[in-house]
């Protein structure tokens, strides 16, 4: 078997005296969609931030394609493993400003057509390109933020309750896009959710309870 794209090895996280994650171990294979769930405050977001290299574990280690995260340059790593959180903020200008930003930081010319194709993929009309962010609904902002994360495709997408505040239609649009990326580009996805319908459709569910992992295997 190919080596896992992510290997979480006995990871613990302490903030002061408080243990937030304890002895978490699991592997994720390339192309998998893993759903993470568990009670509020159990440590799910902390785990995802550790995986996204936004914070460092206080115990154990994480391997990305067999290499310890300590040895990966965090900026390079975050291009490959992209953390996307609920209510991701857009800058307060236009959709265009937000969607050309990923090109600017890479010193590349924006590909206007590609951006507009992505707008279509998330069911927004091309004319939204020039729209002010202040004129967007919550669900539209969330979709634009997702496009911003996906213009340069990461290898792993870490999604922290990205659909929790959205209605059924917005949820469906985002699920369709994620599934499509997973199938077409073999993007690996780890997603936190409380949503029953997302959980019932999940291939693999990891439950975090009180900072510890319980994996539910299919019968």
DSSP H/E element including 54: none
- Check residue 46 for interaction with ligand ATP (CB under 6 A): yes
Report which of 176, 197, 189 is spatially closest to residue 48, judged by C-alpha positions. Answer: 189
Task: Extract the tokens encoding 198.
Answer: 């997302």
Residues 74-133 that bind ligand ATP (CB under 6 A): none
Based on CB atoms, which residue is closest to Mg ion, 45 or 142? 45
Tracing tokens 């469906």 back to the chain, one arrives at: 172
- Check residue 44 for interaction with ligand ATP (CB under 6 A): yes
- Check residue 41 for interaction with ligand ATP (CB under 6 A): yes
Residue 174 contacts residue 142 (beta carbons within 8 Å):
yes
Based on CB atoms, which residue is closest to ligand ATP, 20 or 34? 20
Phi first, then psi, for residue 26 (nearest 5°) are -170, 160
User: In angstroms, how far is CA 33 from the centroid of its own chain?
Assistant: 11
Based on CB atoms, which residue is closest to ligand ATP, 20 or 28? 20
Mention every residue, 6+ apart, whose C-beta is less than 8 A from residue 41.
none
Residue 189, by phi and psi: left (phi above 0), alpha (psi -120 to 50) or beta? beta
Tell me the closest approach of the beta carbon of residue 44 to ligand ATP, in angstroms. Answer: 4
- Check residue 43 for interaction with ligand ATP (CB under 6 A): yes
Residue 144 binding: pick among ligand ATP, Mg ion, none (C-beta 5-8 Å cut-off by kind): none
Based on CB atoms, which residue is closest to Mg ion, 94 or 193? 193
- Binding letters toward Mg ion, positions 45-74, x by CB under 5 A: x-----------------------------
Residue 15 binding: pick among ligand ATP, Mg ion, none (C-beta 5-8 Å cut-off by kind): ligand ATP
- Check residue 20 for interaction with ligand ATP (CB under 6 A): yes
Based on CB atoms, which residue is closest to ligand ATP, 41 or 74? 41
Residue 35 binding: pick among ligand ATP, Mg ion, none (C-beta 5-8 Å cut-off by kind): none
Report which of 9, 1, 72 is spatially closest to residue 30, judged by C-alpha positions. Answer: 1
Based on CB atoms, which residue is closest to Mg ion, 4 or 43? 43
Q: What is the DSSP letter of 193?
A: -
User: In angstroms, how far is CA 136 from the centroid of its own chain?
Assistant: 22
Task: Extract the tokens encoding 103.
Answer: 């090109």
Give me the residues paired with residue 103 across strands: none
Q: Which residues sit at the interface with ligand ATP, rule CB under 6 A?
A: 15, 18, 20, 38, 40-46
Q: Which residues sit at the interface with Mg ion, rule CB under 5 A?
A: 45
């Amino acid at each position: 078997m190919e080596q896992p794209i992510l290997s979480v090895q006995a990871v613990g996280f302490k903030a002061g005296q408080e243990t937030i994650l304890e002895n978490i171990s699991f592997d994720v294979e390339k192309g998998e969609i893993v759903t993470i769930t568990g009670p509020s405050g159990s440590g799910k977001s902390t785990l995802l931030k550790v995986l996204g290299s936004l914070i460092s574990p206080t115990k154990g280690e994480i391997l990305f394609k067999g290499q310890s995260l300590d040895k990966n340059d965090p900026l390079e790593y975050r291009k490959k493993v992209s953390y996307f959180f609920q209510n991701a903020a857009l800058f307060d200008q236009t959709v265009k400003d937000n969607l050309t930003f990923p090109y600017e930081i890479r010193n590349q010319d924006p590909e206007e057509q590609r951006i507009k194709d992505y707008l279509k993929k998330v069911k927004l009309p091309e004319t939204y390109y020039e729209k002010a962010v202040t004129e967007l609904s919550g669900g539209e902002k969330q979709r634009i933020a997702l496009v911003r994360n996906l213009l340069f495709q990461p290898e792993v997408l870490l999604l922290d309750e990205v659909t929790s505040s959205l209605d059924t239609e917005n949820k469906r649009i985002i699920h369709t896009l994620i599934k499509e990326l997973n199938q077409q580009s073999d993007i690996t996805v780890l997603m936190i959710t409380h949503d029953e319908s997302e959980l019932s459709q999940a291939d693999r569910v990891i439950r975090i309870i009180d900072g510890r992992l319980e994996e539910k295997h299919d019968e």
